Amino acid sequence: MSTYLENLNWRYATKKFDATKKIADADLNTIKEAVRLSASSYGLQPYKVVIVENPEIREQLKAAAYGQTQVTDASHLFIFANDVNVGEDAVNKYMTNISETRGLPLEALAGFSDMVKGSIANLSAEAKNNWTAKQTYIALGNLLNAAAELKIDATPMEGFNAAAFNEILGFDKLGLNASVIAPIGYRHDEDEAQHYKKVRKSQEELFIKL
């Protein structure tokens, strides 16, 4: 655990990546698996994770991210895209997955399935979109922590034009919305931000004990 905390202290939101350094396939797969194993509400995972390596697409996305060079210079660009209109189809697929994974008949999951469907049905379109977008941040947290364990740099970013990202990536046709992005790779020697002391609230200020 001490190493884990050391790695969290080591990580920071990288401002300048070394474009010549690429993440090894094994490390990339570890990060992908950490994202896949993320917690989500009901376990539904109402999002997709798009990994962009194509340099031409990333140049377009950089323009939609206000010219931030992390988008193009990092080894890989993760885009977390939430389902904008999650509904019964997603729940049915999830129940089938549970059934096949745990060896249970679908009938045994009927009560859980109805509960999840009923809960989602009671949400407005805006509320559903907000709910699924929040789920992507849990997965983002797993990415950041896994990357830190591997001494891979990552930058969580909300500073981009989501509508432009959606258009460039064809998300509108897929019922998805770019919620949050994370370039990952290796910090450049010239990135001054790596030398800054981490600033966080103290435990006394952050936590309330009742």
pLDDT at 178 over 90: yes
Q: Side chain identity at 58, as an amino acid letter?
A: R
Q: Is there a contact between 128 and 150 (Cβ–Cβ < 8 Å)?
A: no
User: Which pLDDT score, from 0 to 100, does residue 58 have?
Assistant: 98
Angstrom distance (rounded) from CA 129 to CA 126 = 5
> Residues 193-201: what's their mean pLDDT?
96
- What is the pTM (predicted TM-score) of this model? 0.96
> Residues 184-196: what's their mean pLDDT?
97
**What b-and-e string marks burial along 158-185, b requiring 16 or more CB atoms within 10 Å of the CB?**
eebebeebbebbebeeeebbbbbbbbbb
The per-residue pLDDT for range 27-78, each reduced to its tens digit, is 999 999 999 999 999 999 999 999 999 999 999 999 999 999 999 999 999 9
User: Which pLDDT score, from 0 to 100, does residue 2 have?
Assistant: 80
First CA to last CA distance, the chain: 26
The per-residue pLDDT for range 78-118, each reduced to its tens digit, is 999 999 999 999 999 999 999 999 999 999 999 999 999 99
Full DSSP string of 34-100: HHHT---GGG---EEEEEE--HHHHHHHHHHTTT-THHHHSSEEEEEEEESS--HHHHHHHHHHHHH
Q: Which fold has domain 2-85+125-194?
A: NADH Oxidase (3.40.109)
pLDDT at 1 over 90: no
User: Which pLDDT score, from 0 to 100, does residue 201 have?
Assistant: 97
Q: Is there a contact between 73 and 124 (Cβ–Cβ < 8 Å)?
A: no
> Residues 163-174: what's their mean pLDDT?
97
- Split at pLDDT 50, 70, 90, the class of 181 is very high
User: Which pLDDT score, from 0 to 100, does residue 149 have?
Assistant: 98
